[in-house]
A and B are shown apart, each in its own frame.
Chain A
């Protein structure tokens, strides 16, 4: 019998995140371990009157392409993917890897080339999504590999993920709606600010946010979710920041990353492990030295670091900053092939000042900010 939590999760994804309507053309994809959820999503989509198709994402094929593919093959985007991004209504992607490090040995330049080939389609679907013609969601699915990366058992990790998706609420959709309303208020509060300053151990970072848009991320395009993000004014970032958790991207990692910014650019970067990799990423292109995103993690059901970015960047009481490409809709203007999120824990002694006023301490917004 399928895990009854999967049916609930499917209801949230279909009924809330993507709000599937009759006649919608829906694409559902995920790694092979996610098939139990794909099946529930397929059923829920059919019952919602939509036209779902499903496809498995096969890591071994991606590995083979990265290893053996010619440039023509790396640059080619399959017909079904192109059509779904340009003409489909809904796209649900389930991230449930069998091995979180399967690309650790792949050539970063070839990986970047494959990602770049998809840029035009990515831009297209982000535009379509901005205009409300396309709804997409990335959902984390607990697998042995993710549990192992988090240093816990599968059942423990499942509980963490499902709690973070509010499945233990009597009515998860209603819980997401309530939570979303809270994030909207917080977004409105932050929209009135021009400068933020983050203070914590080894961290004192200031940047402008005036004129930029804060976007509440409330379970529509990520699940689990819970953050409010914007794109800082690029040239205004000054100071230092030390990231509490390992920074991972494309199957590789750098530990204890410290960055110093001057005039919006990284001028010093160090890590206790993976420093070479860190510098390689930052040197990828001009935009990789600048900040594309700043965000508050606000999901209090996520309390511990798991090594899975989808969860880590949502940990209630953290902030994260991304080097590289800006997120459309925030007003951010930075362009890069990189978008690397790094998380800084503010739960013990961290402070945030908005236009000189203390608004956040020890991982929590002070009264008046979030209500």
Chain B
């Protein structure tokens, strides 16, 4: 039997995230395991008068490529991919891994060669997003592999995912996300006036300067689920220490109990209980990798647990996250790096955040509601 939540998620993506209109060309990307959602997106796009097509591939082809291809093959981008990157109006991507650790034993240098070629396309897509030519949204279709990472049964994990996307009930998910968008936008405008944030929590006392940097609401246009506000901090302004209670994951590898110490905006010490070498190697990627490119509040309270997937983890209601490495142009960043690694700090038990000396957040919640502008 079809899961009605899959159709609601598809309708939410085409109707709200992508605002798909008649005649628009939509590419739907995913692996074979995502077929139920991919076909639901296709149907939903057809119903909106758009011109959808599927780019659904068998799982684990990249494993074959990374194992057997020459350097030149790894870096190859076909003219067809370039053409689609330039011409498509809407880009919907479904993540649905059959094994989230399939690539962990691959030579990292070969993987970088492949990824950096792919990033050229991805960067071009985001450029087109920023000029308003392209709508782009990524979501996840629940699989056993993701459920396993989350330490749940598939049925429990499905409830979790569809709950976080707000497509699990009879209520109109589009109305929900429009109201979330209004709240997050109001919160971002409120934070725009802040010069300095001070984050206090277990083994954490970090000062981050955000003066002059615009805050951006993540309201379900580019990710589903969504729910955060973020900016890129002033590069030299970060001081103090921060502890990350959740495991920090980068490209499938976990680092536990990460602690970072900052001076003059740069990491000066980095410890971890497991994976410390990996942590330090990542921070040593390049100049910008030791500097924060992002600071954000996770505000989706339907995401109430850690599941080892950044799509959800960075939005856990009551957490904050910072990212080491490259920041966001639209947030005024000056930091560039090949790294962008989100690390999540749980502030739900006894965290506090001060904005220019005033307590604004305690135990995972803002203390004052922002004034929401009526649409």
Are A65 and B46 interface neighbours, CB within 8 A? yes
- Whether A39 contacts B39 in the complex (CB less than 8 A), given A65-B46, A84-B80, comes out as no
Q: Which residue of A lies closest to B38 (CB)?
A: A58
Whole-angstrom CA separation of A25 from B76 in the bound complex: 10
Residues of A contacting B53 with CB < 8 Å?
A: 78-81
Q: Which of B73-112 contact A (CB under 8 A)?
A: 73, 76, 78-81, 83-84, 87-88
Contact of B46 among A68, A81, A84, A87 (CB under 8 A): A68
Residues of A contacting B35 with CB < 8 Å?
A: 32, 56, 58, 60
Give the interface size bracket for A toward B: 20 to 34
A42 within 8 A of B: yes
Q: Which residue of A lies closest to B78 (CB)?
A: A25
Contact of A43 among B25, B49, B68, B87 (CB under 8 A): B68
Are A51 and B80 interface neighbours, CB within 8 A? no
Residues of A contacting B1 with CB < 8 Å?
A: none
Whole-angstrom CA separation of A42 from B49 in the bound complex: 34
Are B46 and A51 interface neighbours, CB within 8 A? no
Are A79 and B87 interface neighbours, CB within 8 A? yes
- Whether A83 contacts B46 in the complex (CB less than 8 A), given A35-B32, A58-B38, comes out as no
Whole-angstrom CA separation of A73 from B78 in the bound complex: 26
Contact with A along B28-55 (1 / 0, CB 8 A): 0000100100110011001101010111
Are B88 and A39 interface neighbours, CB within 8 A? no
Are A55 and B57 interface neighbours, CB within 8 A? yes
CB distance from A78 to the nearest CB of B (A): 4
Are B51 and A56 interface neighbours, CB within 8 A? no
Q: Which residue of A lies closest to B23 (CB)?
A: A72
Whole-angstrom CA separation of A43 from B67 in the bound complex: 9
A155 within 8 A of B: no
Are A55 and B64 interface neighbours, CB within 8 A? no
A250 within 8 A of B: no
Residues of B contacting A81 with CB < 8 Å?
A: 53
Are B68 and A46 interface neighbours, CB within 8 A? yes
Residues of B contacting A32 with CB < 8 Å?
A: 32, 35
Whole-angstrom CA separation of A226 from B32 in the bound complex: 33
CB distance from A55 to the nearest CB of B (A): 6
Residues of B contacting A76 with CB < 8 Å?
A: 51
B357 within 8 A of A: no
Q: Which of B47, B51, B68 has the most CB of A within 10 A?
A: B51
**Interchain Cβ contacts under 8 Å between A and B, 13 examples:** A25-B78, A32-B32, A42-B64, A46-B64, A46-B69, A51-B76, A55-B54, A55-B57, A56-B54, A58-B42, A64-B39, A79-B53, A81-B53
